[in-house]
A and B are shown apart, each in its own frame.
Chain A
Amino acid sequence: MAGILRLSKVTKEYPRSGVALRDVSFELAKGEFVFLAGHSGSGKSTLLKLVSMAERPTSGEVKVSGYSSATLRARELPKLRRRLGIVFQDFRLLPDRSAEKNVAFALEVTGAPHASIAPKVARLLTQVGLASKATALPHELSGGEQQRVAIARALANDPFVLLADEPTGNLDDRATRGIFQLLREINASGTAVLMATHDVTLIEWSGLRFLELDKGTLTYDGVDATRLVADLRGR
């Protein structure tokens, strides 16, 4: 299958904190689900920032759906962002707006036709299992539910890939499994998922492909979780 996301010999160096990623190369196929594993500070978040083109690599090239980090112009960034769904550990919801308004916000600010917004928001909230809590404010929802709202928002513009940075980092086991299940469903309907996590059990249990980062270097790309377990748990 054709790669929709490709990193070629990507190095990212910060002036103060030094090298965050060194010579990282990998490819993500259309509709694939891949974990990004590693300790905190291993470069997971940096890698995701490079993929969303929030930052550019010091050397090497990031290619996302036809956009290259070498040639992308600031003006084109919004177009790329509409093709990506992004989810964070801390949900990043607007605290004074209801669940449905948080989701609608993503559609409104990207210029979706007014009449199409309400039905789409309803469909998205149903998809993430929150139809009954559409009017609840974020603080009235549990962590898992807030992350579901954030995922619904990330799906608003029908992205081809969902980037999730430790989406279950703030959740208990039950909620974690629920969110992972939801991401699998989304993936099953054709959206690729790149999920950063340090939850070894989840990777092991899923049996899916994972990339392991250690101090900015890609040390493993495959499905052999036993290796990861020894490596990550051992320390």
Chain B
Amino acid sequence: MRLALREVLLAFRRAPVLALLGITTIAFSLFAFGLFGLVAINLQTALRQVEDRVEIRAFLRERASDDDAAEVVRTMQRMGEVASVGYVSPDSALQRARTELAEFRDVMDSTVLPGSIEVRLKEGSRDPETVKMVSKRLLLYSVVEDVRYGREWVEKLYRIRTIAGVAGTGLAVVFALVAVIIIGATIRMAILARTREIEIMRMVGATNGFVRLPYLIDGVLKGVAGGVIAVLLAYAANTVISRNLVVTQFFTAQQVALGIAAGAFIGFVGSWISVGRQLRQVWRDA
């Protein structure tokens, strides 16, 4: 192990440009990956906030009593998809309208607003089908006159979410693949620069595991270094955007750790593949 570490340091000292090139490429591919991740989590958060506002409003007939409304509230609460049900009486609706639309206060005096039931759905049950289903259910009550939920709006929101999810997963896979390929290539360059060492190691009887070890350590270290740089770059980008454009949220500590671990893993896999290929090559003659 100590020897392997010494070999890694020696390789770095002998070809610092190559090593830095490797780290830089890993850093940038992970940075691109990280930027996309940032966009994805912020989009996800934004969508969730918008989704939280999805609400179904059932307007009650004029003759509906508070008891009728209470009955609707009670039965609706039993539905699995429903998070909360609230009753807005005609009086409180008027109160709310007066405070929210102060400039029309005079008009309000002579107006009678209908009472309504507000239904909010649980997370995961806010898709267009569920919203439609719950609306139909509300319409079954004889005291309910009309149901509004902004159908188009809900559908559009949901479509954006689906597209973002699919595109996000696809791009993430592509970026990860690109990172693996780039890391494999940089490690391969490092190995090619040391073909003679490997040849001699095999000639004098070093085990394959022993030949591999320095490169695996090398790959993991480069992956970690690249990961750390990528996180720093992403943090800088996030800060700039937050200050100048929109306030965005950064990765959690866990996600950062996961990103660096991913760098290490990618470095490991890339080296493993490259060294394996090199070791399988027939011992070259002079």
Alpha-carbon gap, A45 to B285, bound state (A): 8
Query: At the interface with chain B, which of A29-37, A64-72, A105-113, A221-229?
Result: A105-113
Alpha-carbon gap, A86 to B204, bound state (A): 8
Interface string of A60-104 (1 = CB under 8 A from B): 000000000000001001111111101011101010100000000
Alpha-carbon gap, A54 to B90, bound state (A): 92
Asked if A54 contacts B204 (CB within 8 A), the reply is: no
Q: In the complex, what residues of B have CB within 8 A of residue A79's CB?
A: 205
Known: A45-B285, A49-B283. 11 other contacts (CB 8 A): A55-B283, A78-B202, A78-B206, A86-B203, A90-B286, A92-B199, A92-B203, A94-B200, A108-B3, A110-B204, A153-B204
B146 within 8 A of A: no
Q: Please, which residue of chain A has its CB at the minimum distance from the CB of B280?
A: A74
Asked if A92 contacts B14 (CB within 8 A), the reply is: no
Alpha-carbon gap, A106 to B199, bound state (A): 11
CB-contacts of B270-285 with A (<8 A):
282-283, 285
Q: A45-B285, A109-B204, A153-B204 are in contact. Are A94 and B3 (CB under 8 A)?
A: no
Q: In the complex, what residues of B have CB within 8 A of residue A217's CB?
A: none
Alpha-carbon gap, A88 to B203, bound state (A): 11
Alpha-carbon gap, A153 to B283, bound state (A): 18
Alpha-carbon gap, A108 to B208, bound state (A): 14
Residues of B in contact with A (beta carbons under 8 Å apart): 3, 14, 196-197, 199-208, 210-211, 282-283, 285-286
Residues of A in contact with B (beta carbons under 8 Å apart): 45, 49, 52, 54-55, 74, 77-84, 86, 88-90, 92, 94, 96, 105-106, 108-111, 153-154, 156-157, 165
Alpha-carbon gap, A154 to B204, bound state (A): 7
Q: Please, which residue of chain A has its CB at the minimum distance from the CB of B197?
A: A94
Asked if A55 contacts B282 (CB within 8 A), the reply is: yes
Asked if A78 contacts B283 (CB within 8 A), the reply is: no
Alpha-carbon gap, A84 to B203, bound state (A): 9
- Report the 4 A-B pairs with minimum CB-CB distance, sorted nearest first: A81-B205, A82-B205, A109-B206, A54-B283
Q: A153-B204, A157-B205 are in contact. Are A109 and B286 (CB under 8 A)?
A: no
Q: In the complex, what residues of A have CB within 8 A of residue B208's CB?
A: 74, 78
Q: In the complex, what residues of B have CB within 8 A of residue A77's CB?
A: 205
* 27 cross-chain CB contacts under 8 A: A45-B285, A49-B285, A52-B203, A54-B283, A55-B282, A74-B208, A81-B202, A81-B203, A81-B205, A82-B204, A82-B205, A84-B205, A86-B203, A88-B286, A89-B286, A92-B199, A92-B203, A94-B196, A106-B200, A106-B204, A109-B3, A109-B210, A109-B211, A110-B204, A153-B204, A154-B204, A157-B205
Q: In the complex, what residues of B have CB within 8 A of residue A45's CB?
A: 285
Alpha-carbon gap, A92 to B14, bound state (A): 19
Q: Which of B196, B197, B204 contacts A156 (CB 8 A)?
A: B204
Q: Which of A80, A88, A92 contacts B205 (CB 8 A)?
A: A80
| Most A Cβ at <10 Å: residue of B206, B211, B283 | B206
Q: Please, which residue of chain A has its CB at the minimum distance from the CB of B279?
A: A74
Q: A45-B285, A89-B286, A96-B14 are in contact. Are A110 and B197 (CB under 8 A)?
A: no
Q: In the complex, what residues of A have CB within 8 A of residue B203's CB?
A: 52, 81, 86, 92
Chain A proximity of B204: nearest CB distance (Å):
4
Chain A proximity of B187: nearest CB distance (Å):
19
Q: In the complex, what residues of B have CB within 8 A of residue A106's CB?
A: 200, 204
Q: A106-B200, A108-B3 are in contact. Are A78 and B207 (CB under 8 A)?
A: yes
Q: In the complex, what residues of B have CB within 8 A of residue A86's CB?
A: 203-204
Alpha-carbon gap, A49 to B206, bound state (A): 17
Q: In the complex, what residues of A have CB within 8 A of residue B3's CB?
A: 108-109
Chain A proximity of B279: nearest CB distance (Å):
9
Q: Which of B196, B201, B285 contacts A109 (CB 8 A)?
A: B201
Chain A proximity of B183: nearest CB distance (Å):
25
Q: In the complex, what residues of B have CB within 8 A of residue A83's CB?
A: 205
Alpha-carbon gap, A153 to B200, bound state (A): 10
Q: In the complex, what residues of A have CB within 8 A of residue B210's CB?
A: 109, 111
Alpha-carbon gap, A77 to B206, bound state (A): 9
| Most A Cβ at <10 Å: residue of B196, B208, B283, B285 | B285
Alpha-carbon gap, A156 to B196, bound state (A): 18
Chain A proximity of B16: nearest CB distance (Å):
14
Q: In the complex, what residues of A have CB within 8 A of residue B204's CB?
A: 81-82, 86, 105-106, 109-110, 153-154, 156-157
